[in-house]
Amino acid sequence: MTYGKVVVVGTGLIGGSIGKALIERRLAKEVIGVCRRVVSAEKAEKEGAVTSAVVNNYKESCAGADMVIIATPVDTIKDVIDRLSDCAFLPGAVVTDAGSTKKDIVEHAAKYTGKIIFVGSHPMAGSEKSGVENSRADMFEGSVCLVTPDKGTLPDSLKKVTDFWASLGAAVHKMSPEDHDHGMAFSSHLPHAAAYALAGLLEEKFPPYIFAGGFKDTTRIASSDVALWAEIFDSNRENVLEAIRKYKEKISSIERDISSSDKKNIREKLDKWRKLRDELV
């Protein structure tokens, strides 16, 4: 599938990768980046992530657009939807996003039914790095993208969003916004919280040379954007707290076995959990 004009709001790591993928695969005649700052617009153009970029100009940029992707931090997505509600897209044009939480965003977009067609998305791709300078055209190849329709989503709109992510190389799966947020709390949000907490042990002032592979591997994602993750934790608060409670139960059970020198029980437990992990990977 090809597009006349695609608008990417936010040209950082994910937005820049979307733009580069569209351009490299020749899927769009125009890829317009909407940025908050002049320096961001200049970077996006220099990096080849867009065909052109503008600063906070939504109405002109979105006029006649086939598709709009909001790739801003999760705490700003609802504000962007507000601004898009006054834009004149092509008939049938769809707005989607790349946020890590979905329920609040999908419910907010539903307020503009009749003005914009919105279908929530979450491409599960990226890295601990940020910025358009780290974006890649192959970012979504072999990745998973979760699409979160609600009861008002029409089949044609859902297909457009599904086809869009598939055209960038992602395997697309559908789930409700509620199931998405609950699942992501365990599969993504908790691991980031745990990585930051483990990195916090460096406050104990051990010699740096003793922190070899295991510690570095487990804390890699603690190098992620802290402002972004603070907002994600807050926007999915109840689900994240549930995940943390259950994680604490697992850690406490290991603590009890170590405390009681119950080597048999801890071996069985670790072996069971190792097998579950290996089956997944």
pLDDT < 50 stretches in the chain: none
Q: Does 146 lie in the same domain as 8?
A: yes
Range of the domain at 214: 180-280
Q: Does 190 lie in the same domain as 150?
A: no
Q: Torsion over CA of 268, 270, 272 and 278, rounded to 10 degrees?
A: -150
Specify the CATH number for the domain of residue 220. Answer: 1.10.3660.10
Q: Does 199 lie in the same domain as 171?
A: no
Number of structural domains, the chain?
2
pLDDT at 46: 95
Q: Does 153 lie in the same domain as 127?
A: yes
pLDDT at 1: 66
